[in-house]
Structure 1
Amino acid sequence: LYLEGFLYSIERILDIKFEDEFDRKRYEEIYNYLDLKPNFQSPFSSEYTYKLIELKNYENLKPIRGQFQIDKNYIQEYKNQINIYLKENNLNKKLKRIYYFTYYKFFSIFDYMKIFGAISNSFLSLNDKAILLEGDINGIQKFIYNITNVEGFVKRLRGRSFFLSILPEIISKSILNSINYPIFNTIYVGGGKFQLLFNIKFLDKVIAKLNEINKIILEDFSGLIGLTFAYVEIKLDDFKNYKQKSMELFQKLEREKYRKFYKILNNVSLKIKSNDICPSCRIETKYYDDEFCNWCKRFEELGEKLLKGSFLVFSNNRGIGLENVGYIDILENYPIDEDFYILNILSETLLDHGFKFINFVQEIKSFSELVEDEGYKKLAYLKIDVNKLGFKFSQVDSFFEVSRLSRFIDLFFSMYLKFIFEKYKDYIYVVYSGGDDLFLVGRWDKIIELAIEINKEFKQWTKNDLSISASINLFDYNYPFKFAAEITSKNLDIAKEEGKEVFILNKFISFEELENVYNDVKEKAEEYKNKISRSLIYRVYIMLKRKYLFFPMFYYQIHRNISDSSIREDFKSKIINKENMEIKKSSEIFLELLLMKTREVKQ
C-alpha cells in the first residue's frame, strides 16, 4: 500500500501537467504551516518559497518572499532539473527543494523518500508494530567545557567539540548496523540526540546494544557523559495521531535522564591507569611519561586534522572513537572503499557521497591573539540557543515534519552560519555551531556585532516564527575557559527562563535595543573623542548607581566638563529620555560599551 502510494507520487512529479496550479507553486517553508506562536500575527505571514536551484552558495539557502514569475522556459527548466536529479545519487542536495504533492507542499521529495523508506522497512505487514526510539547523550556541553587553558588547549577544544557533535551519529549508525538496517531509518540526528525507527522484533537486540554502548561510554569518560534512551510502540494507525506518540516518548525520555546508568552499574569496571591526573581535563589519569591522557591526545590530533582534512570517514577501527561502537577519522585525500562525508564542500564530482558542514575558523589563534589589536583586551563568550524548540516539535503532526524541521534548523547553524563566520574569521573562535545552538569566543566588539547579525539572519530564516536567546559575557583572555563557559551557559539559562533575548554586562536587553546602543557607541566613540573625557564617562556611570542624587550631579558634571553645547546635549540624550525625563534603561550598557570602545591600544 505504501509502496504503491510512493510510486504514484513519483509518477505525478514526472508527469507534470503545467496547465494546472501545480506549476505555479514552489516549495513553501514548513513554518507557514505550523502554528508556532498562538494568537501572533507574524509580519512575515505571506508565502515564502524557494527557487529550484542547486545549493552552491549560502544565498541559495534563503527563502524568498512571494511567488516567482513563471514562464515556459522556467517550466521546462524545472522539469529538466527533476529528471537530472533523479539520475544522481546525492538526494539530500538535489531533492530537498522539490516538494511532494501539491497540497502538502512542505514535504520535499528527499524527506518523503527518506521517511517512506524508514516506514516501509519497519512494518512487514499492515498489522505489524514498529519501535520509535530516541536517544539522548547527556552532559555534552559540560564535557566540552571541562578543559584547562594548558598550552595547545584550543586544538584539543576543537577536537573535543567536534567529536561530541558526531557521537550521536556514530551511535545511531552502530545500532542500525547491529540489526542490518540502512541509515535512512534514522529519523533525525543532531543536538546530542537521535531518533530511530525499526521493527519491534529487533527491540531486545537494540536495547542490549544500547546498554553495551552506555557501558563503554561510562568506562571511557568516567560518567561525565551518558546515554539515555526511551521508546514507544507504533502501529500504522498511530501515524494519524503522531503528536500523542511524540509526547509519550518525550515524557519517557525525561524520566530516564534521572537514572542514566542504572541498568549497567553492576557490570562496570573503571580502570585506574596511574596516580597522575591529566593536566588538560583534570579527570582522566595519564601515564607518567605522557603529557596528557589518551583522550586529550586524541582530541588534539583530531583538532589538528580538522584544519587540513576534507573527508570525514566512518570506520570500525581507525581514527578516534569507541571500541565496538564506531570510529571517525579526518583525511586529506579521497578515501577508497570507505563510508565518508565530504566536509564543507558541495562537490559536483563526488555525487555518490553525502556532505557535512562543520563550523570553525580555519586558522587557529590563541585567545591572547584574538584581542591583541583592541584597546580593551577582553574576550566575549557568546552562547545562542533556539527558544522553546521542544514545544515547536510537539506541534508537528508527522515524521515528515520532524525530519524537515530538525534538518532545517541544523542547516542554519551548521552550514548557513559558516558563511557569516567567514567575515569575522580574524576575531572569533567557533567552539561549536550545529543542531539548535552555538558557542563562540572572540573579540568583544566583533562578538556583539556577530550576535546582532545572527539574530537578523535567523529571523529571516524562520520568518520570525522562531526566536533565539543569547548570553554575552566578558572575561580576560587568560581566564579559565571552563569557568567562563559555565558562567555563560548559566546566564543563557536565566535569560531563556525569564523570556529575555540578550544577557550582556549583567543586564537583560532586547536585540533591537542592543543594536541601537551599539550603533550609538560606534558612532559616538570618535565624535566624543577629545571632547568628553573617559573619566567623566566613568563618573556618570558611577552616578547611575545613586538614583536619587543622579540628576543634580549629572547636570553639574556635564555643564562643568563639556564645553561644546551640541556635544553636551547629544550626550545627555543618550542617558535621559527627553519625553519623560527618566533615565534610559540602556544607559548603563551604553556607558560601559563607550568606555570599552574608547580605550586605546597600548603599544
Structure 2
Amino acid sequence: MNSSRSLIFAESVITNALFKRIKNIFPAKSDELLELLLTRKWGKEIVEHWQNEKQFEHLFQGLGEKVDEQAIPLVSIFSELHIQPNQTTEKRYYEPMQWKEPVYNPTLTESPSKENLLLHWHMIINSWKQFIQFAPEDHSIRISSFLDWSENWLSSVPVNKNLQSIPLSIHLRLMHALAIVCGVKCKSFKLLLGDVSGIQSYLFDIAHIGAGKIAKRLRSRSFTLGLLADVVSHKLLLDARLPISNLILSAGGIFYVILPSSYETRDWKKETNKFLYERFQGSIVLHSSEKEIHLLEMTKRFPELLTSCYEGIQRSKGKPFFDLLQNDGAWNDQMFIHDSKQNRDDLCNGCRKFPKVNEEFCEYCLLDEDVGKKLTRTNYLLFKKGHGTIQFENGIAVELLETLPISVDESSYLIQVWNQADAKKAPIQFHRKWVANYIPVAPKGGIQFADNLEDVQNLHEGEPLTFVHMAQVGKGKDLLGYFKADVDNLGMLFTIGFIKERQKESHSFSHILTLSKMFERFFAGGINQWLRNEFKNTYTVFSGGDDLFLIGPWEEILKAAQEIRSRFQIFVGSNPEVTLSAGINILKPKTALPHAAQFVENELENAKENVNVIRAEEKGQFGRDQVSVQGFVMDWTHFKVVTDTSKLLAKWWQCNKLSSSFIYQLSTFSDMYKKYKETGQNEYLKFIPLLNYTIQRNLIEGNILNDKNREDKEILEWLRNLQQVLEQKNKYPLRLNANLLWHYMHLITKISNYYRGG
C-alpha cells in the first residue's frame, strides 16, 4: 500500500469506528452524515473503504473495538488503578461534555443520566457535520484537525463497556497510528519506547551566573532540553516516512512511537546518540527499547510485552553510548575525549562547557537568553528540516511563534499548538500539546526598587521576574520557595496497576496511553493554568509527564503546594494508591541554583523514603504521600496545620499578643518535648510547668491576654492545649493536638518568623 493510500485507509478506519457508534445510537442521523460525506471528494473515498469492513477486522480485534447498543459514560481510569491486591475504589464517572480545558475531574459517583449521554452524542453529531462541511482537502491537515476535534469532543466518551475507562479520542489516535503501519493485511507492528535521560542533571549544571541572569535563562534551557524527545522521535518518523501522528505520546523525556514491524532503528539510535554526545558532552543520552507486537497480543500479552520494553530501557541505562564507545569489540578511545582547544579563561561564564562568543557567554547560553524573551509570548512551535532559531544537530530546527502563520515553506513539517491556542487555519499538519510555559513577568507599569537594593534592577512591564524580584514581591521575608513533586510508585502503577483489568484481558496499550495523557493534562496544562490565574509570581522550571519543579516567593509556594496536592486528589478520584509526594525548601534568592536544586531533590527523596514520626506510630503506615519541608517529613494534613499555625503565630505577634522572645521559647520547649519522646524520661516534661508559668506571669498577669476577650480566649485555648501532651492524641482536633504541634514546633516558629519578616 503506497503512502497516500495508507493515509486514506487509516482515516477510513477511525471515521468508520465513530460512524458505527452514531448509527447505533441515532440511525437517522447516520444517514444524514453519510449523505454529507458523499458531497466531499475525500468523503467518497472514505465511504468506499467502508463498503468492505472486513479489511478493518484485524485492527478492530487488536484494539478490542466493539460498539455498544447504547450510550455509556466514561469511568475514571484512576478507579481501576491499584497496586495492593484486593483493593477497590469507588467508581467515579465524568460528565459527558466537550473537553476544552486541560483538566476535568471525575466528580460523579453515579452514572450520568441517559438523557445527558444522548444530549452529548447529539452535540457530537452536529459538530462532526460542521467538521465534514468545512474540512480541508489536504489530508495531513484534515487528519490533524480530526484528531484535534476528537480530543475536544470524544475525550469524555468511552470506547465500550469492556474499555469503559478509555476515552474514544485516545482509542482513535492509537487506531490511526496502527492503521498507518499495518494497512489492510499486516497484523503486527513495532512499538518503540524512548527515554531521553540526563536532562534534569544537565539543566542545573549552571555555574558562575548571578541569580538574576539565571532566572532569565533557566526556563529557556528547560524548554529547549524538553524539546529533545520530540526532535529525536520526529527524526525517526521523518526517516521512516511516517506521519508525526505515529508519535502517540511524548512527555517528560519519554516517548512512544508506532513503526512497521520490519523497520530497523539501529542507525537512528547511533546517529542520535552521536549528536547528543557531542552537543551535551555525554550528559544526555537516548535509551530505547523496541518490541514487535502482534495485533492479537495487544490485550492478551501486552503487560508482558510492555514490561519487556521497560527492562530493555534499564539494560540500556547500564551501558550508555555503548555503540559509540565501542568499535568492533574494542574501546573507541577518541570518544572519551571531548575536543576543547580553549583554555579555561575562554570558556563560557554560564555553562563552563563551551567557548565564549562574546565577553561572557557561549552561543548556547546566548540562545537561552534570546529564547527566554520569546517564550512568554509563544503559542506555537514550527518544526522544520534545516535551519531555524533553535538548531539541533540532527537536522531539525524549531521556531517560536506568537501567532499562527498563514503559510510556511517546504522545509516545515509540523506546527505544535500549545494549550488552547487556535489551530483552525493551520497551513500544515499540527498537533496540540499541553505545556507548562508560564513565567512571571513584571506587571503593568513595571517594578521599581529603591537604589540601596544591591544588584536589583528595575524591570519594565512584561520582563520576566528575576529570582531576587520574586523574593521581593512576596510576603514577609525576602526568600524563595523551591517546590518539587512527583507521583508515587509510578513504575508500579504502569506495570501492575491494572492487574484486575489484566485478568479480564483488557489491560491494553490504551490504558497506558490514557494514564499518561491524564497526567500530562494535569502536570502540564493544569499547572500552567493555575499558575497563570492564581500563583502569578511562581516560576515553572519544568512541569509535565508526572512531575514538576516550581520556584516562587516562599509563601506563595506553600499555598501552591497545598492547592496542587488538593486538586490532584480530586483529579484521581481520591484513589488512596495514586498519591503525590513533594519536597519544599526555603532559601535566599541568591543561593546557587545547582545547590538549591539538590537541596529540594533531597527533600523530595526524604518525603518518599522516610516515614514521619507521627505516622510511624500508626500500624501499617509507610512513606510516600508526604511532603518534606526544611528536613521535616509530614503528612499533607499535618502540612496544613503547620502553615496555618505559623500564620496564626505571626498574626498574634503583629497584634502584640505574643512577643518574639515568647515564640522563641516555644521552639526551645520543643527540644525538651523531643527529648521526652526519645527517652521517655519525665524530667524533660518540666517544659509544661515552665510554659504554664510563662503564660500566667507574662501574658495573663501582664494584662496582655484576657479570658473575656474573644480573640484572647482563642490564643489561651491554643496555649493551654500545648500542655496536654499526656492526653490521648485523638482527643483534640489536629490544630490543637499538642503532640503534633510540639513535634513540628521548630518548623512552625521558623515559618512564623518568615511571615514576620525576621
**TM-score of the pair, normalised by structure 2:** 0.73
Deviations 1:179-209 (A, max 9, x none): 1112232232111111222123212xx2111
Instruction: Provide structure 1 residue ranges, at least 5 long, that are not aligned to the other structure.
Output: none
Please state whether the residue corresponding to 1:68 is helix, strand or coil: coil
Aligned counterparts of 2:692 and 2:587: Cα–Cα separation in 1? 33
Q: Using a 3 Å threshold, how does the CA distance of structure 1 residues 443 and 7 change in structure 2: closer, same or farther? A: closer
Structure 2 gaps of 5+ residues are 1-8, 28-66, 136-144, 326-331, 442-463, 499-506, 611-622, 676-683, 708-712, 730-736
**Aligned equivalents of 1:579, 1:84: Cα separation in 2:** 69
Residues 126 and 340 of structure 1, relative CA distance in 2, 3 Å threshold: closer
Q: Deviations over 1:278-312 (max 9, x none)?
A: 22123x12236442122111122111110223221
The two structures, once aligned, show a CA RMSD in angstroms of 2.9
* Corresponding residue for residue 439 of structure 2: 361
Write the distance in 2 (CA, Å) between the matches of 1:273 and 1:585.
Answer: 60
- Quickly say closer, same or farther: Cα 1:326–1:95, change in 2 above 3 A: farther
Aligned partner of 1:504 in structure 2 is 629
Q: Does the CA-based 8 Å contact 1:168-1:189 persist in structure 2?
A: yes
CA distance in structure 2 between the aligned counterparts of 1:127 and 1:345, rounded to whole angstroms: 37
- Matched to 1:11, the amino acid is F
- The alpha-carbon deviation at position 15 of structure 1 amounts to 0.7
1:128-527 equivalences in 2 (<5 Å): 129-148=188-207, 149-150=209-210, 151-203=212-264, 206-239=265-298, 240-265=300-325, 266=332, 268=335, 270-275=338-343, 276-282=346-352, 284-287=353-356, 289-316=358-385, 317-335=387-405, 336-337=407-408, 338=412, 339-347=414-422, 349-350=424-425, 353-359=430-436, 360-363=438-441, 364-373=464-473, 374-395=475-496, 396=498, 397-465=507-575, 466-498=578-610, 499-500=623-624, 501-527=626-652
Residues 230 and 249 in structure 1, CA contact (< 8 A), matched pair in contact too? yes
> 2:449 is matched with which residue?
none
C-alpha distance 403-602 of structure 1, shift in aligned 2 (>3 A): closer
Contact 1:537 1:591 in 2 (8 A): no
CA positional deviation for 1:12: 2.1
* Matched-pair contact (CA < 8 Å) for 1:61–1:416: no
Contact 2:220 2:369 survives alignment (8 Å):
yes
- Residue by residue over 1:206-237, the C-alpha shift from the partner in whole angstroms, topping out at 9 and shown as x without a partner, is 21111111111111111121111222232234
- Contact 2:650 2:755 survives alignment (8 Å): no
State the aligned residue count: 595
Contact 1:414/1:433 (<8 A) preserved: yes
How far 1:249 moved relative to its partner?
1.1
2:111 is matched with: 67
Question: How much identity, in percent, do the aligned residues show?
Answer: 24
Alignment correspondent of 2:93 = 48
**Partners of 1:137 and 1:226 within 8 A in 2:** yes
- Residue 25 (structure 2) aligns with: 17
Distance 1:404 1:85, change over 3 A: farther
Aligned to 2:64: none
| 1:593 equivalent in alignment to 2:739 | no
Confirm or deny: 8 A CA contact 1:85 1:94 kept in the other structure. Answer: no
| Structure with greater strand percent | 1
2:73–2:94 contact (8 Å) kept in structure 1: yes
C-alpha displacement of 1:246: 0.8
Paired residue type of 1:382: F
In 1, Cα distance between the equivalents of 2:357 and 2:250? 39
TM-score by length of 1: 0.90
Greater shift in the superposed pair: 21-30 or 424-433: 21-30
The 1:354–1:509 alpha-carbon spacing in structure 2 relative to 1, beyond 3 Å, is same
Specify whether residues 123 and 437 from structure 1 end up closer, same or farther in structure 2 by C-alpha distance, changes over 3 A only. same
Partners of 1:74 and 1:426 in 2: CA distance = 35
What SS does the aligned partner of 1:15 have?
Answer: helix
Q: Deviations over 1:427-446 (max 9, x none)?
A: 31111111110001111121
Pair 353,262 (structure 1): closer, same or farther in 2 beyond 3 Å: closer
- Report the Cα offset of residue 585 of structure 1: 3.2
Contact 1:513 1:586 in 2 (8 A): no
Partner AA of 1:557 in structure 2: T
1:549-585 Cα deviation digits (max 9, x unpaired): 5334333333333222533332242575473389523
Contact 1:559 1:568 in 2 (8 A): no
Give the match's secondary structure for 1:459.
Answer: helix
